[in-house]
Structure 1
Amino acid sequence: MTHISENAINILTALTFKNIGNAWAFNNLKHLKHSVEICELLEKKVNEPVNEHIFRQRYNDICQQIENLGMNCDGVTALGDSDFPIVRGNVKDSNQPIVIFYKGNLELLSKHHTNLAVIGVLTPDKQIEQDERQMVDSFVHDGANIVSGLALGCDGIAHHQALLSGGKTIAILPSPLNQILPKQHIQLANEIVEQGGLVISEYYKPALDFRTQSKYYIERDRLQALFSDCTVLAASYSPDSKDPNNSKIDSGARHALAKAKEYNLPRAVMYHEKYTSHPMFDLNRQIIKEDSPNAIIISPEQPSSFHNWLKQSLKQETAILKSSEQANLGF
């Protein structure tokens, strides 16, 4: 491991105490603090013993667990560190990322890049895969990085096509860096890093039960939204879908799309009239209805028209940010 800040370990240690979550950490630890100061803050919040000795014991235990990540992790960065990535959108305190474990080029999360999350169903058919690949290829050639969750199906297709198109891609895991999920994509994760991309996780310990693992998946989904300028749905069932050709109805993509809307970030869907009765586009149709009349629809026949819209949208956002910065400076 090449880089791990004391600040990151201090924050991870604070998060081991009961009733301490992301919101508390975001509000109290966004500026670098010594462990003594953190202990004083914890004493006011938690109903368990807190002192420097207890804090240091937990600190050392976390250091050992992080050491076990070995060469799978290049570094750990946390809120307050100079290299900690800034999120997109209006993200509430409890949803803010606090600590990121990474392998690869962390700078790809910078807001200087155009990052597009491309997500979808676990079992797309050949036509969906073909259209998604064409869409991702267009995004990459227009200069975008591709963000996804390394899952089977549409996520894996997005990552793979980004690499084939000569682009960079960012994989966000629901597991520690040394326990890639799904296992079928361990090699893909390695290729992402080898070709200048990035793999990240919020976790240094694996989930020990189904409930915790489900929580990790949902938390992963929010990161897809808040580290992307737009969340793009390739194809997905809705929770109410029925498909006579598929007994496994998954609609996990809805979590990231819901978070994009909550954070006031753009979301888009791949769609064409040829999919009118296709159950794997039920969620796409639902999003179109929810976002009507301003729904962003990407035709697999002309995906580049979407990126023209996105570039214009980002220009407007940059102008607003610059105006805000100038106002803060007194201009």
Structure 2
Amino acid sequence: MKCSENALNILTVRSFPQKGPAWIDKNLHGNENLSVLYKLLETNEYEFLKRRDRIESAINQLGNSIDGLVAIGDVDFPHIRGIVKPADKPFALFYKGDISLLNKDNLNVAVIGVLNPDDKIELTERMVTTEILKHNATIISGLALGCDSIAHKTSLERSGKTIAILPSPLDNILPKENVKLAEKIVENGGLLISEYYETPKSRNDMISRFVVRDRLQALFSDAVLLAASYAPNNLGNDCGSRHAMEKAKVYGIKRGVIYNESKHCNIAMYDLNRQILAEDRNVIRIDSTNMSEAVLRLVTTSNEQMLF
């Protein structure tokens, strides 16, 4: 396993009270001398190294489920896209597969959506994802059932690379139904990443990890595409896609939605798509009538668009 002393130190700092992502972003750049860390944390060598040994032992328990750990200050720690507030910035990532897929010069497009798409939604998502792949994009999603799985599988079927961002440690793939899919992603040159090395402490902790995971889909992507999603409601069928779409808007990441007014206006699974289009005129609408042109707008940068 590839893991620098710096990465272990960063995780150790995080284990101290009130030393969250915002504090780390403000006070650390990575590769600080241990004496500097002791002073910043107002602690001593014994306490710091005791915590670090415990964390290193826990990471070693992950075994072959991870290839490495990278943190801020490491050469291969990925750059984020967009303008992200300190509290949202990742500081350490566990990975299995090709971490270079998160390089800033790699075109990454997140494709997300509901857990229970019907056949028509799946067909349309596959068509649009295939069009995105024609631009040498890497597809990012969350390995969930439904639209996430469709995005990953379409990429694999088209010999593309795909990245799965997980809310769980990499030795505990969730959902269990997608363990084989996760293995195929890595076998085909893709990537699995997670911010976690320990199981959640409670049900609420697990739920919060899904929400926190969704922000990574936005900040590691050049664009985020919503295939289909219910809008927030009291029926219990709301999905996490809205969190990634909201974060993409806050970060200044391009957003696209699949939507056709004549076909989808009365379908509940497109409620969020419709709502986002109504609220933000900068969102790119994609359907079968404008697919090539709309996908081109989604995957090109502002500077590239000026050339057309």
**TM-score category, normalised to shorter length:** over 0.9
Alignment correspondent of 1:261: 249
Does residue 224 of structure 1 match 2:217? yes
What SS does structure 1 have at the residue aligned with 2:301? helix
Counterpart Cα distance in 2 of 1:12 and 1:300: 46
Is contact 1:141–1:165 with CA below 8 Å preserved after alignment?
no
The reply to whether residue 117 of structure 1 matches residue 106 of structure 2 is no
Unaligned runs of 5+ in 1: 44-49, 243-247, 320-331
User: Is 1:19 aligned to 2:7, yes or no?
Assistant: no
1:124-175 deviation line (CA, Å, top 9, x unaligned): 0010001101111111122111000001110011001110011000000000
Q: Is contact 1:5-1:77 (8 Å) kept?
A: yes
2:291 corresponds to 1:298 = no
- 1:53: which partner in 2? 46
The Cα of 1:7 is off from its aligned counterpart by 0.5
AA paired with 1:215? Answer: S
- Output the TM-score relative to the length of structure 2: 0.96
Q: Structure 1 232/311 Cα, relative in aligned 2: closer, same or farther at 3 Å? A: closer
1:62 Cα offset (Å):
0.6
Runs of 4+ in 1 over 2 A off after TM superposition: 300-304, 310-319
Name which of 208, 213, 217 aligns with 1:215.
208
Q: Report which stretch shifted further, 271-280 or 169-178.
A: 271-280
2:18 matched to 1:29?
no
CA gap 1:241/1:309 in 2 versus in 1, 3 angstroms? farther
Provide, for residues 231-258 of structure 1, a one-character-per-residue CA deviation record: whole Å limited to 9, x for no partner.
Answer: 100000001376xxxxx51221100000
Change (3 A) 1:256 1:311: closer
Q: What is the TM-score normalised by the length of structure 1?
A: 0.89
The alignment of Structure 1 onto Structure 2 pairs a total of residues equal to 306
The yes-or-no answer on 1:95 pairing with 2:95 is no
Partner-residue secondary structure (3-state), 1:147 = strand
Amino acid at match of 1:78: A
List runs of 5+ in structure 2 lacking aligned partners. Answer: none
1:166 and 2:159 are equivalent in the alignment: yes
Q: Indicate conservation of the 8 Å contact 1:140/1:166, yes or no.
A: no
Distance 1:83 1:295 in 2: 32
Q: Is 1:234 the equivalent of 2:227? A: yes
For 2:8, the aligned partner's letter is: I
| Counterpart amino acid of residue 264 in structure 2 | Y
Q: Which amino acid in 1 is paired with 2:258?
A: M
**Structure-2 separation of matches of 1:311 and 1:83:** 24
Q: Secondary structure at the match of 1:166?
A: coil
Q: Which residue of 2 aligns with 1:327?
A: none
Amino acid at match of 2:296: N
- Conservation of the 8 A alpha-carbon contact between 1:88 and 1:226: yes
Q: Is 1:278 the counterpart of 2:271 in the alignment?
A: no
Query: Equivalent residue for 1:252?
Result: 240
